[in-house]
Amino acid sequence: MSIPQCPTDCEANLPVVEFNECAPEINLSQINKVYLGKRNQPFTDWTDPAEWASRLSNTSLDDDAIRTLIVVGDKPLPEVQEQEISNQRTVVLNRNHSLNLAVDESNGVNHAAIRDLQCTTQLSMWYETLGGKLFGGNDGIPVSLQIGIVLAGGAGDIQKYQGVAKWKSQFDELMIDSPIAA
């Protein structure tokens, strides 16, 4: 599945939908893993668990290595960039997407990594939900990542790192059943 083929006239058929009254499919939405890689290091087949296994490493220095962040995350509705044109019509030019994430394991290695990520902000990203869905496609999502430490004031609060990944795309990301969900 690639970029949707948008209609070129008002006569196009509506897209097919599917609902099941007796056994509806639902999926947990909380983002629990974010995968980060260098830009321009696409997968040959992001649906292949063996290719993921060969690339997932939190220590490898290979150019195509992918880091796994265990997070609590969410993706709000994108902000639509629209333009009013002639005859009071409105067209969508693009959408501003964001993914909010929090890393709550605050060991020294993760702290150093967060500091490094504060200068390497242009990355490819994939993300996975508790429902076992993986988003991003072969190329991943080209994101700008802003992340930093948060030290809350409560006596029982924990140290964590909060961040936001941002990107522009007219469409939502490709989604598959995760071939690497544990």
Percentage of residues of the chain with pLDDT beyond 70: 99
Q: Are the C-beta atoms of residues 176 and 133 closer than 8 Å to each other?
A: yes
Residues in Cβ contact with 85 at an 8 Å cutoff, skipping those fewer than 6 apart: 91
Q: What is the pLDDT of residue 61?
A: 96
Q: What are the structural domain ranges in the chain?
A: 31-177
Which has the closest alpha carbon to 136: 33, 5, 27, 25? 33
pLDDT 10s digits, 70-85:
999 999 999 999 999 9
Beta bridge partners of 146: 164
| Range name among 8-17, 24-33, 141-150, 159-168 with the lowest pLDDT average | 8-17
pLDDT 10s digits, 34-44:
999 999 999 99
pLDDT 10s digits, 127-162:
999 999 999 999 999 999 999 999 999 999 999 999
3-state secondary structure of 179: coil
At 87, the pLDDT band (50, 70, 90 cuts) reads very high
User: Is the whole model's pTM more than 0.75, yes or no?
Assistant: yes
Residue 1 has pLDDT above 80, yes or no: no
Q: Which residue has the tokens 């072969």?
A: 138
CA–CA dist 126, 142 (Å, integer): 9
Q: What is the pLDDT of residue 181?
A: 83
Single-letter amino acid code for the residue at 178? S
Q: Are the C-beta atoms of residues 95 and 80 closer than 8 Å to each other?
A: yes
Largest CA distance in the chain: 62
Q: What mean pLDDT do residues 101-122 have?
A: 94
Q: What is the pLDDT of residue 2?
A: 72
Q: What is the pLDDT of residue 8?
A: 80
CB atoms under 10 Å from CB of 99, counted, come to 23
Q: What share of the chain is helix, strand, coil (3-state, %, to 5)?
A: 10, 40, 50
At 11, the pLDDT band (50, 70, 90 cuts) reads confident
